[in-house]
Amino acid sequence: MADPGLPRPKPTYSYWQHAPHVLADTQSSTLPTDTDHAIIGSGITGLAVAKSLLERDPSSKVTILEARTLCSGATGRNGGQMAANAGEEYSHLAQTYGPQEAGKIIKFTFRNLEKMRELVEEQDVAEVSEMQQLKKLRVFLTDGKFRDFKESIARLEGDHPSMKGIYTIIDAATTLQEYGVHGAAGAAILPAGTIWPYRLVTRVFSALLEKYPDRLTIEMNTPVESVEYNSNIASPMTTVYPYKLRTPRGPLRARSVVYCTNGYSGHLLPRLRGRVHPSKGTMTVQDPPKSVPNQGSSISWGFHYPPSYDPASKRHGYGLYYLAQSAKTGYFYFGGENTRVDESVSADDSFLAEHSVSHLRTVLPQFFGQKGSAPWHLMASWSGVMGFSSDGLPLVGRLSSALTGRSGTGEWIAAAFNGYGMANCLMSGEALARMILGENVDDWLPESYGLGERRLRETLTVPKAVNALKAKL
Ligand SMILES: Cc1cc2nc3c(=O)[nH]c(=O)nc-3n(C[C@H](O)[C@H](O)[C@H](O)COP(=O)(O)OP(=O)(O)OC[C@H]3O[C@@H](n4cnc5c(N)ncnc54)[C@H](O)[C@@H]3O)c2cc1C
């Protein structure tokens, strides 16, 4: 499996970042020589790890290293959806991991979304992050997809009666009459939210810097090129800080290394390549005509269809479109994939396939009954790199020597949220920080997110990843 490489220096311009935060390019005049915890990546996961370490370990120093500008990865380029996927996935999860673990995963994702809301309140950023608590309308475009979904939800509610009532199923006629959505075989409504994640994350980083000026350093434009381990008992420096992170600004020594590197993880951790792979997503912001109502404070949308492949164009349809509307401007934030596999299994967000954008511009008006209308005004379009794992679950835990190739035990990872970061990252980051500090999180972190030997042998494997990709063709 290919090396995803370092994050590309000049990514496409994400609308979420159109007013860069004052800390976007922040860095110390010279890179510190050492730190307790070196966190690689300044997305929401890196933020969550840093926040928890700073709050729970009053003496430790934390350094964030980011290849580009603050929060310029997936978190600053996503669809703004705060929604869980677990209901749709339940049947598969229960079959693979058993009903108890599947239920734990679902509860984790819903609790994570609550934690997002709590963070917004704690930091008093509801206004600036434009967070909306609303209902998500999951629309199923084929009978088969709708049937599978209903079966999954029935199984979820049967196994976990406490989850009854989260999803409300509605038929095609109601989807059209009450929600104005065309082309549905049926739909479901569930509690969800939307947010401007870049603004949330950059604001919280800024608050952390203010609160912990002597313990936190944020080093932007500082790609980590390699990690080395050297515990030489003859040298006090290497005993305390056995890791050396090489960067173009010089080396940084650290006690522990925390990879919050998402789709790029395989660059520094070659043994993860294939088990975790980058997946490039496309986002647009489209301005609808005035006849389309602004429902941004009450509804967000997901459109599900069977993954498809067109041999003539070699393009595959990923199976999902996601849509949020700004309550302030009425703009639609619309994303989803219809592109060539080689373009989507890519860590290069410095370009955007034009056909992916025109596909999104053609599809969106159709959902609102405007098939054949002129495309809506395109405000912005960009790409972003997600991290996918071969078994569809995040990786949260300590990296063994088998994965790092190094003998130390101070390397940790929280990555690969398979397109559902807002429902996973915050608590995964917190769990990782607590694990680093020696706390037990088994009560609430799904065991299947861990890096146990069985997972590495059976599901988090390159052949599984290849099969999952082949299934799309
Ligand atoms: C187009 C798109 C749409 C999405 N839509 C949604 C959505 O609507 N809802 C949802 O829940 N999720 C969505 N996601 C997924 C979600 O955004 C991610 O799961 C989440 O943001 C991951 O956060 P992270 O902090 O783990 O990774 P990132 O935000 O990607 O952060 C990783 C950071 O690590 C840095 N980095 C990597 N390697 C190095 C290195 N060697 N040295 C220094 N820095 C490095 C990168 O530059 C990057 O900034 C979407 C993602 C994309 C791309």
Asked if residue 43 has its Cβ within 6 Å of ligand 1, the reply is: yes
Does 353 fall in a domain?
Answer: yes
Asked if residue 41 has its Cβ within 6 Å of ligand 1, the reply is: yes
Give the pLDDT confidence score for residue 343 in this predicted structure: 87
Asked if residue 109 has its Cβ within 6 Å of ligand 1, the reply is: no
Q: Give the number of the atom of ligand 1 that is nearest the alpha carbon of residue 324.
A: 8
Does 206 fall in a domain?
Answer: yes
Confidence band, pLDDT 50/70/90 cuts, at residue 371:
confident
> Across-strand partners of 315?
310, 340
Choosing from 389, 404, 438, the residue where a domain stops is: 389
* 187 and 232 fall within a common domain: no
The proportion of the chain whose per-residue pLDDT surpasses 70, expressed as a percent, equals 99
CATH classification at residue 439: 3.50.50.60
- Residue 78 and residue 417: Cα distance in Å, rounded? 12
Q: Give the number of the atom of ligand 1 that is nearest the alpha carbon of residue 47.
A: 25
pLDDT digit string, tens, across residues 415-439: 999 999 999 999 999 999 999 999 9
Does 344 fall in a domain?
Answer: yes
Tell me what the mean pLDDT of segment 129-141 comes to. 98
Does 3 fall in a domain?
Answer: no
Label the pairing between strands 168-171 and 186-194. Answer: antiparallel
* 150 and 283 fall within a common domain: yes
* 416 and 375 fall within a common domain: no
- Residue 421 and residue 45: Cα distance in Å, rounded? 9
Give the pLDDT confidence score for residue 216 in this predicted structure: 98
Compute the mean pLDDT over every residue in the chain, rounded to the nearest whole number: 95
- Give the total number of structural domains in the chain: 2
Give the pLDDT confidence score for residue 470 in this predicted structure: 72
Nearest CA to ligand 1 atom 37: 261
Listed in sequence order, the residues at least 6 apart from 83 whose beta carbon sits closer than 8 Å to its beta carbon are 113, 136, 190, 192, 193, 300, 302, 420, 422, 423
Asked if residue 12 has its Cβ within 6 Å of ligand 1, the reply is: no
SS3 content of the chain, % helix, strand, coil (to 5): 35, 25, 40
Pocket test for ligand 1, best of 218, 264, 350 (most atoms within 8 A of CB): 264
Asked if residue 194 has its Cβ within 6 Å of ligand 1, the reply is: no
Confidence band, pLDDT 50/70/90 cuts, at residue 233:
low
Ligand 1 centroid from CA 387, angstroms: 7
pLDDT digit string, tens, across residues 80-111: 999 998 788 999 999 999 999 999 999 999 99
CB-CB contact of 211 with 55 (8 Å): no
* 56 and 31 fall within a common domain: yes
Give the pLDDT confidence score for residue 171 in this predicted structure: 97
pLDDT at 235 over 80: no
- Residue 167 and residue 83: Cα distance in Å, rounded? 12
| Ranges assigned E (strand) in 211-311 | 216-219, 226-229, 243-247, 250-259, 276-287, 299-304, 308-310
User: What is the span of the domain harbouring residue 154?
Assistant: 130-191+277-389
Tell me what the mean pLDDT of segment 283-295 comes to. 96
Does 87 fall in a domain?
Answer: no
Confidence band, pLDDT 50/70/90 cuts, at residue 466:
confident
Give the pLDDT confidence score for residue 242 in this predicted structure: 95
Asked if residue 74 has its Cβ within 6 Å of ligand 1, the reply is: yes
Ligand 1 centroid from CA 386, angstroms: 6
Pocket test for ligand 1, best of 325, 346, 417 (most atoms within 8 A of CB): 417
Nearest alpha carbon to residue 448 among 403, 412, 404, 396: 396
Asked if residue 224 has its Cβ within 6 Å of ligand 1, the reply is: yes
Does 9 fall in a domain?
Answer: no
**Helix-helix angle 99-122:86-97, to 10 degrees:** 140
Confidence band, pLDDT 50/70/90 cuts, at residue 373:
confident
Q: Give the number of the atom of ligand 1 that is nearest the alpha carbon of residue 386.
A: 53
Asked if residue 349 has its Cβ within 6 Å of ligand 1, the reply is: no
Choosing from 389, 415, 442, the residue where a domain stops is: 389
- Would you list the DSSP string of 163-207? GTTS-EEEEHHHHHHHH---S-SEEEEEEEEE--HHHHHHHHHHH
* 401 and 382 fall within a common domain: no
Q: Give the number of the atom of ligand 1 that is nearest the alpha carbon of residue 422.
A: 11
pLDDT digit string, tens, across residues 169-228: 999 999 999 999 999 999 999 999 999 999 999 999 999 999 999 999 999 999 999 999
Tell me what the mean pLDDT of segment 431-453 comes to. 97
Asked if residue 65 has its Cβ within 6 Å of ligand 1, the reply is: yes
Read off the tokens for 362.
Answer: 């053609």
* 369 and 384 fall within a common domain: yes
Nearest CA to ligand 1 atom 4: 78
Does 106 fall in a domain?
Answer: no
Asked if residue 72 has its Cβ within 6 Å of ligand 1, the reply is: yes
Give the pLDDT confidence score for residue 1 in this predicted structure: 74
Confidence band, pLDDT 50/70/90 cuts, at residue 473:
low
Ligand 1 centroid from CA 345, angstroms: 15
Q: Give the number of the atom of ligand 1 that is nearest the alpha carbon of residue 81.
A: 8
CATH classification at residue 304: 3.30.9.10
The proportion of the chain whose per-residue pLDDT surpasses 90, expressed as a percent, equals 90
Q: Give the number of the atom of ligand 1 that is nearest the alpha carbon of residue 75.
A: 21
Does 99 fall in a domain?
Answer: no
- Residue 44 and residue 258: Cα distance in Å, rounded? 13
Asked if residue 264 has its Cβ within 6 Å of ligand 1, the reply is: yes
Tell me what the mean pLDDT of segment 121-141 comes to. 97
Choosing from 351, 372, 389, the residue where a domain stops is: 389
* 428 and 291 fall within a common domain: no
* 263 and 136 fall within a common domain: no
Give the pLDDT confidence score for residue 85 in this predicted structure: 87
DSSP state, 238?
H
